[in-house]
Structure 1
Amino acid sequence: MCSLSIVLNALGKGLVRMTRKKAGRRLLAAAAAVLLTLTAAPPARAAEPQWRPGVPPLATPWTAQVSPANALPEYPRPQLTRERWRNLNGVWEFAWAKAGEAPPVGRALDRRILVPYPPESALSGIQGTGERMYYRRTFTVPAGWAGQRVKLHFGAVDYDAKVWVNGTEVASHRGGYDAFSADVTDALTASGPQEIIVWAEDLTDATFQPIGKQRRVSDRGIFYQGGSGIWRTVWLEPVPAAHIEGLKTTPDLAASQLRLTARAAGGAGLRVRAVAYDRQQREVGRVTGAANAELRVPVPKAKLWSPDSPYLYDLKVVLLDGNRQVDSVGSYFGMREIGTKKGADGKLRLALNGTILFHLSTLDQGFWPDGLNTAPTDAALRFDLEQHKVLGFNTVRKHIKVEPDRWYYHADRLGLMVWQDMPSSKTDRIPEPWREQFKAELWEMLAEHDSWTSIVGWVPFNEGWGEWDREETGRIADEVKRRDPTRLVNAHSGVNCCNSLGDAGRGDVLDHHQYVGPAAPMPSDTRVAMDGEHGGFGLKTSNHMWFGDGFAYEMTPDKATLTRRYVENQRDVITAGTVCGISGAIYTQITDVEGELNGFYTYDRQVSKMNEAQVRAINTEIIRTVDGSAGNAPQPTPGTPGLTGVAHYPLDGSLDDAAGDADLTNVGGATFGEGRVGQGVVLSGDGQALEAGRPVLDTAADYTASAWVKLDRADGAFQTIVSQDGPQTSDFFLQYSGADQRFAMSFAGVRALAPEKPEVGRWYHVTGVRDAANSELRLYVDGERAATLSACQPFTEPTGTTVVGRGRYNGGPVDYLDGTVDEVHLYDRALSAAEIRQLFDSGR
């Protein structure tokens, strides 16, 4: 004990004795003050901030595996590997920032974040939101890197970023889904700790930046909690002054060669030597030639990559300055060719390596309850892809998100074809200042992913989200094809849906969405057809739901029902493929995501929601069956002759069927009023309809529906004249389309439209024809053909009631007619144009 401590200890004992006397108590008070002053410790330093993970609403099997020592430690760039590198993932200092705030050079920040998990995520340790942020950490340069250039790499920072090293700004970047790098050599000090500061700003849906499904606040619907800042691996590597910056590899099956371009920096006259090896590390071909120029590596008798046999070759590329080797990198490639081919049925279809192959896919969103848009571990990143194979899928649609490189590496190794979406902006049309940025990020996405074997197609737009001009959409599709002629271009997935401005007619694919579907667009001589989204059957799973509740396009009560509905729906895919000619189908979706409960697996990846064996069996059958064989088209049916039809409703004070026994029932209290001739039925547009109680029309064959109608309004609301209920959605709609403000003959999401808007208060004769043999919908208005649309659908047996005055969509009644209907005819055949004219003339 020090001498001061001895004195203080003695003084303290004396004061205690003196408290027994009054004077002593006064002295005690004064002495105590002195004592406290003398014994007070210097101001305590605040405890060093520590990283602690947050608690996610749901934990995945990998949540507990994440730690500062295990934050995505894998080499992040599988197609350009070097032995020496340093991972900078781990605990960084962190603080929210204000606009215009100076970088905190040399100043510690008050919080700790685990990089590369976005600060909104539980795994980051922050689990909060903000628009601007600073990251800070130090590192030392390994002694063995002396004489090398040091590069700092960021897998992705969302959205605007600036980087300082030792107070010197070394990089700035805009774009949340692409990588960027900086040579930081000149900013380094000779020795000791080196400081990195990263600033990030992410305004998400407050701007028109490409964001995909991210939103500042989840809408508990189809948009999710966004992530900002650093969300992919940060790392360092040493490179020589002359070094390889990138490789572009393109298989050429016809020539039995790999086309290779090695981008190099650091001098003129550099050359490269590339050697390809098989799985047994036997050399199969080599080439030497100029850097930054396309070379051809021989690959004789190539073993082709496919979902059934995902064969990959290794590649070693050496950079030469004269005869001296100055750099060396590793890579790999697969030999495959994606294209189109006409089947025996004459329909254009997707082909892999010259053979027709149906693309059976899920919609893969790539979100996680613990890491948001960053998977907790590499095993987790791989899991979703592995489950595609378990379930019998051969394709993945990476939905409006771009993943880290290791995701595509796993897809390459597992044998999954990938349709890669461009992350969309908001659903509104992108305004002028952001259009060039959208395109710049699209071109960057293509450039960064041009060598992945698994990627077979590009998708610039989804459902019109952000689309600003239909002709520009076509030009963008053309430019994508010009930049990458070796892959297919799906200019617009869901061109029939939502915010779409219509089909630009460009690209290699016509893609429709339909829930529950499947969609069944028809291919042309130049474009294949695909179902870009369908299904969406849901099941609630207690204790495994993000919000404790959620939704789907069709909910089911249990696992058995969910599996049954999936199998039934996928059988419709077989029909759509064999009869209508679709080349691919994409089911929504591989996992639940937040409020969406339509996954094969729960959002936490803890529960398999369907019978996997039954799923795999039907999926295998689809891929095996839909091969372009001939003889699948339906044959026309003669039907009932004459113009009376199989059902006729004069509606003159009665709801009786004048042609048969399918009398109508008044639902909701519709009334009789003045009709086109005599009386008609007046419907209010709210809950009133006329139902036959059974399906009158065989919707698996040809049919025609016809009626006189007078609208009391013609605005943005849909109004159904005649329809027939399906399990969830009407088999067809003879309607006024509020979206187009025109009469239409429709399937869900597909409409043959009249050219002009109808007048309120005027009688029209409207007829819809389904010509199954020719896969057409035809619309006639007042006896004249108004529209013809090439359209197909699964030819399933009718299940629901025929209805006058309403439709059915997503399981519920919709689109009630606000007006008067008269003289309804239903036919079990496709009426000719002359017959429809005759029918119209008879009603004048």
Structure 2
Amino acid sequence: MFKPLAAALVLLSTTLVPTAQATAPARPAAQPAWHLGTPPLTTPWTNDVSPTNALPEYPRPQLTRPDWRNLNGLWEWAPAAVGEQPPIGRTLNEQVLVPYPIESALSGLQKHQDRMWYRRTFTVPDNWKGKRLLLHFGAVDYDAKVWVNGRQVATHRGGYDGFDVDVTTALHAKGPQELIVWAEDLTDETYQPIGKQREVGDHGIFYQGSSGIWRTVWMEPLNVASIDRLQLTPDLPNQTLKVTAETSGPAGLDVEVTAYDGRKAVGQVRGKADTELRLPIRNPKTWSPDHPFLYDLKVRLIDRGKMVDQVGSYAGMRSVGLQKGADGKLRMALNGKILFNLSTLDQGFWPDGLNTAPTDAALRFDLEQHKRLGFNTVRKHIKVEPDRWYYWADKLGLMVWQDMPATKTDAMPDPWRAQFESELHQMVDQHKSFTSITVWVPFNEGWGEWDRAATGRIADDVKAQDPSRLVNAHSGVNCCNSHGDSGRGDLIDNHAYLGPATTAPTETRAAVDGEHGGFGLKVPDHMWFGDGSAYEMEPDSATLTRRYVENQTDVLKSAKQCGISGSVYTQMTDVEGELNGFYTYDRRVPKMDFAQVRTINQQIIAGADGTGSGIPNPGPGTPGADGIHFYPLDGTGEDAVGNNDVTLQGGATFAPGKNGQAVALNGDGQYVDTGAALLDTSKNYTASAWVKLNKADGAFQTFVSQDGDRDSAFFLQYSGQDQRFAMSFPGIRALSPTKPNPGQWYHVTGVRDVVKGELKLYVDGELVATKSACALDSSSTGNTVIGRAKFGGNQVDFLDGMIDQVHLYDRALTDAEVRTLYESGR
């Protein structure tokens, strides 16, 4: 009698999915005893792990059978040499706790080897005789070979996908069966997909590698005719579930699929195996983060009226797509309704198990905290998890952006490109039945990317492989090693630290912020290296929480004004040297006020629905050619229009200028202070000045800015990084096309248009650059200043040169007005 699958998997004690016990090989007396290693940090689950309970849960939740055996536990282990023959019939000198990678403390080894042997024996239960025996390897990093009773039965390449081996013909008739696995993992010595792994963690954004067997190894008996895999795709508009039962054995058998809501059968279909069937589910209950309903499935394989195999499974009914909001902007949608994808960056590393969570409860914990914090999405960052992780995402209600594990950051050479694509498509194929996965991400920040056109083709190939989900061709297309936007996929994804990004959607692609944030806090005795860093360090939890809320408030602004429909905050937990988590790396200390986090997160999801632009009405502004403040700087600090005279700071002086006198600045602490915030930087404004540089090198020099709490609200400047004039926000620059000449006077004007979401730069009366910038405006209350900027809380970017005729306007000047101002010489 089949029970509902969801309940069976939670209880892990039903007839459908019994808890199997690992059967470890006998240990010779001369072999040293296994013992837990000493991680720099332990988690609450470290001491729950032992040789008798190493991940005992059923590892394949979407295709369950009642009879199986777990082969996790103690295995013999030894380093291997190139070309060495398998140690058939030979006891190995050390022990390892499978499935924890050998570098981890939980493995008992806590060391790295490029090549290694695993060995154990197992027995086949008497009631399995007459059946085929299948061995399942959840994952082996990276190259693997398998022998049973001295016979090689498999080879496999790929560190993140599982593989199965039919070992029936290699078995002895009775008694112990010998199983040997060879694994080679060269990590970052090659261009194999490795994600964040490096042989040795670098105290920065890369972490300790994981080698060898790192997911559950298990075995099960099968009939000659059996169901190998289920491909499940919901078709919500047509109220059907597409089901393909892939089988082994005789062709042409029948399959019967029944869907259950609790104990009640709500739909059934019968047809041929290995073909797509459509299971009708009338008036389906939809799956969503708020209501993650899952239907239980029973699938029977039938040969001439006789059932020859039966499996349990589950599926959710939901649709994923793009949809225009009331504001006309294209956004991500779930079940035909716009839903902002609010996510964290989730690395999936553990201080005790590295790539492998210590227990199933630990694996579930991180996802439960996403729900507690008010997130509805997880970006699984350049790693692939065990199937049970996706089961818990399905069950708890979290959308998943699934990354392809990256290779090293530089362009991968030709011999590895086909391997990368093969592993990418294998990842999609093995995971496309999980309800929670809504987005595929082939590339991150251009890591390993070799050609923009190839990236676009790969995105198209993934979309063709799985049309039911969105494809994010390259998360962080604006960053790092990216070759630029291929124009393919369903999303445009920019990264912005501290951010958020302000990318605007197009007619065919939604816009998302694939990474932002990264605020950090040190927690003594809970840091992997005893220290670490983040994109911005905070002194205490209250400040960290405040900065998070401020940053997420800007996410909501970007959603309303620019139209981003997803954001990914860095990150769920600290990882090794990165201290920017909601939790410490050991998952023991929450670092923020979670109630405040949840409140702002819920406000984003509720408010970012595309029903209103959120753009303030800037009003017409003050008319007139001179603006609201005008500083001739003709030997005095007089404001010729307003009432805010300036003072010269740091020894700045007057000298002959463009039009009479001007202010001369030496680039070393000298500037001009207006004494007040003269511009409402949440609305339209314009700043204009005549400037002359003494030098044009790699140093930034700012002409006009207005102080914010941390950074200037805007920068009218010379960008030393680009060696061009610029009208800038932090991380966004409208740049002039050519480098200015030192000693030459230029008329430079910056315009902020909040309605169009643009920054404009004019040089000598001509529009030279326009940059999209939607939501970074703030009501800056710091002083408007001439000749410097503020960044990271510090006064920076002092002008080395002269400045004259400074105008400030509370409106966005038109092209004609800027040209007239330039021609007037003022």
TM-score (norm 1): 0.89
Instruction: Write the letter of the residue equivalent to 1:562.
Output: L
Could you tell me how far 1:46 is from its partner in structure 2? 6.7
Q: Map Cα deviations across residues 123-181 of structure 1 (whole Å, 9 max, x no partner).
A: 11111123222222221222222122222211111122222222322222222211112
Q: Is the 8 A contact 2:729 2:776 kept in 1?
A: no
In 2, the alpha carbon distance for the partners of 1:273 and 1:491 equals 37
Q: Map Cα deviations across residues 651-671 of structure 1 (whole Å, 9 max, x no partner).
A: 66777655552625545x778
Asked if 1:54 corresponds to 2:40, the answer is no
Instruction: Write the letter of the residue equivalent to 2:123.
Output: T
Q: Map Cα deviations across residues 547-576 of structure 1 (whole Å, 9 max, x no partner).
A: 222222232232233223322322222222
Instruction: Write the letter of the residue equivalent to 2:420.
Output: F
Could you tell me how far 1:784 is from its partner in structure 2? 2.2
Q: Map Cα deviations across residues 86-140 of structure 1 (whole Å, 9 max, x no partner).
A: 1111111122233333322222222111111111111111111232222222212
Residue equivalent to 1:259:
242
Residue equivalent to 2:8:
none
Residue equivalent to 1:123:
106
Could you tell me how far 1:55 is from its partner in structure 2? 1.0
Alpha-carbon distance change, 776 to 199 in structure 1, aligned in 2, over 3 angstroms? same
Asked if 1:430 corresponds to 2:412, the answer is yes
In 2, the alpha carbon distance for the partners of 1:616 and 1:390 equals 7
Residue equivalent to 2:57:
74
User: What's the secondary structure of 1:563's corresponding residue?
Assistant: helix
Residue equivalent to 2:120:
137
Instruction: Write the letter of the residue equivalent to 2:221.
Output: P
Residue equivalent to 2:579:
597
In 2, the alpha carbon distance for the partners of 1:567 and 1:178 equals 38
Residue equivalent to 2:715:
733
Asked if 1:214 corresponds to 2:193, the answer is no
Instruction: Write the letter of the residue equivalent to 2:711.
Output: T
Q: Is the 8 A contact 1:515 1:810 kept in 2?
A: no
Write the mapping of 1:392-407 to structure 2, written as runs, cut at 5 A: 392-407=374-389
Worse-superposed segment, 307-316 or 617-626? 617-626
Residue equivalent to 1:637:
619
Could you tell me how far 1:66 is from its partner in structure 2? 0.3
Q: 1:177 aligns with which of 157, 160, 167?
A: 160
Could you tell me how far 1:509 is from its partner in structure 2? 1.7
Residue equivalent to 2:308:
326
Residue equivalent to 1:576:
558
User: What's the secondary structure of 1:502's corresponding residue?
Assistant: coil
Instruction: Write the letter of the residue equivalent to 1:162.
Output: K
In 2, the alpha carbon distance for the partners of 1:418 and 1:379 equals 19
Write the mapping of 1:248-647 to structure 2, written as runs, cut at 5 A: 248-279=231-262, 281-630=263-612, 632-647=614-629
Q: Is the 8 A contact 1:200 1:229 kept in 2?
A: yes
Asked if 1:102 corresponds to 2:102, the answer is no
Residue equivalent to 1:93:
76
Q: Is the 8 A contact 2:713 2:778 kept in 1?
A: no
User: What's the secondary structure of 2:237's corresponding residue?
Assistant: coil
User: What's the secondary structure of 2:238's corresponding residue?
Assistant: coil
Worse-superposed segment, 148-157 or 472-481? 472-481
Point out where structure 1 has 5 or more consecutive residues left out of the alignment. 1-44
Q: Is the 8 A contact 1:662 1:696 kept in 2?
A: no
Could you tell me how far 1:331 is from its partner in structure 2? 0.7
Could you tell me how far 1:257 is from its partner in structure 2? 0.4
Asked if 1:160 corresponds to 2:143, the answer is yes
Instruction: Write the letter of the residue equivalent to 1:835.
Output: E
Instruction: Write the letter of the residue equivalent to 2:298.
Output: K
Alpha-carbon distance change, 463 to 828 in structure 1, aligned in 2, over 3 angstroms? farther
Could you tell me how far 1:822 is from its partner in structure 2? 5.0
In 2, the alpha carbon distance for the partners of 1:777 and 1:414 equals 42
Instruction: Write the letter of the residue equivalent to 1:104.
Output: P
Residue equivalent to 1:114:
97
Point out where structure 2 has 5 or more consecutive residues left out of the alignment. 1-27
In 1, the alpha carbon distance for the partners of 2:652 and 2:88 equals 75
Q: Is the 8 A contact 1:516 1:728 kept in 2?
A: no
User: What's the secondary structure of 2:616's corresponding residue?
Assistant: coil
* Residue-pair matches, total: 798
Q: 2:815 aligns with which of 833, 839, 842?
A: 833
In 1, the alpha carbon distance for the partners of 2:105 and 2:638 equals 64
Q: 1:663 aligns with which of 646, 659, 665?
A: 646
User: What's the secondary structure of 1:473's corresponding residue?
Assistant: helix
Asked if 1:84 corresponds to 2:67, the answer is yes
Q: Is the 8 A contact 1:516 1:810 kept in 2?
A: no
In 2, the alpha carbon distance for the partners of 1:529 and 1:335 equals 25
Could you tell me how far 1:605 is from its partner in structure 2? 0.9
User: What's the secondary structure of 2:179's corresponding residue?
Assistant: strand
Q: 1:746 aligns with which of 713, 728, 735?
A: 728
In 2, the alpha carbon distance for the partners of 1:213 and 1:799 equals 41
Alpha-carbon distance change, 693 to 176 in structure 1, aligned in 2, over 3 angstroms? farther
User: What's the secondary structure of 1:387's corresponding residue?
Assistant: helix
Instruction: Write the letter of the residue equivalent to 2:760.
Output: R
Could you tell me how far 1:647 is from its partner in structure 2? 4.3
Q: Map Cα deviations across residues 360-411 of structure 1 (whole Å, 9 max, x no partner).
A: 2211111111111110000000001011111111111111111111000000
Worse-superposed segment, 312-321 or 163-172? 163-172
Q: Is the 8 A contact 2:378 2:401 kept in 1?
A: yes
User: What's the secondary structure of 2:598's corresponding residue?
Assistant: helix
Could you tell me how far 1:803 is from its partner in structure 2? 4.7
Could you tell me how far 1:448 is from its partner in structure 2? 1.1
In 1, the alpha carbon distance for the partners of 2:58 and 2:219 equals 11
Could you tell me how far 1:626 is from its partner in structure 2? 2.2
Write the mapping of 1:697-776 to structure 2, written as runs, cut at 5 A: 697-709=679-691, 720-737=702-719, 742-756=724-738, 758=740, 763-776=745-758
In 1, the alpha carbon distance for the partners of 2:422 and 2:696 equals 42
Alpha-carbon distance change, 248 to 498 in structure 1, aligned in 2, over 3 angstroms? same
User: What's the secondary structure of 1:604's corresponding residue?
Assistant: coil
In 1, the alpha carbon distance for the partners of 2:118 and 2:800 equals 60
In 2, the alpha carbon distance for the partners of 1:748 and 1:177 equals 38
Asked if 1:202 corresponds to 2:181, the answer is no
Could you tell me how far 1:580 is from its partner in structure 2? 2.5
Sequence identity, in percent? 67
Could you tell me how far 1:723 is from its partner in structure 2? 3.6
Asked if 1:229 corresponds to 2:209, the answer is no
Worse-superposed segment, 323-332 or 362-371? 323-332
Larger radius of gyration: 1
Residue equivalent to 2:131:
148
Could you tell me how far 1:772 is from its partner in structure 2? 0.2
In 1, the alpha carbon distance for the partners of 2:334 and 2:156 equals 37
Could you tell me how far 1:75 is from its partner in structure 2? 0.8
User: What's the secondary structure of 1:706's corresponding residue?
Assistant: strand
Alpha-carbon distance change, 407 to 123 in structure 1, aligned in 2, over 3 angstroms? same
Q: Is the 8 A contact 1:318 1:325 kept in 2?
A: yes
Q: Is the 8 A contact 1:136 1:197 kept in 2?
A: yes
Q: Map Cα deviations across residues 775-814 of structure 1 (whole Å, 9 max, x no partner).
A: 1122223322223233201442114444555554444556
Q: Is the 8 A contact 1:665 1:693 kept in 2?
A: no
Worse-superposed segment, 590-599 or 571-580? 571-580
Q: Is the 8 A contact 1:496 1:750 kept in 2?
A: no
In 1, the alpha carbon distance for the partners of 2:459 and 2:572 equals 28
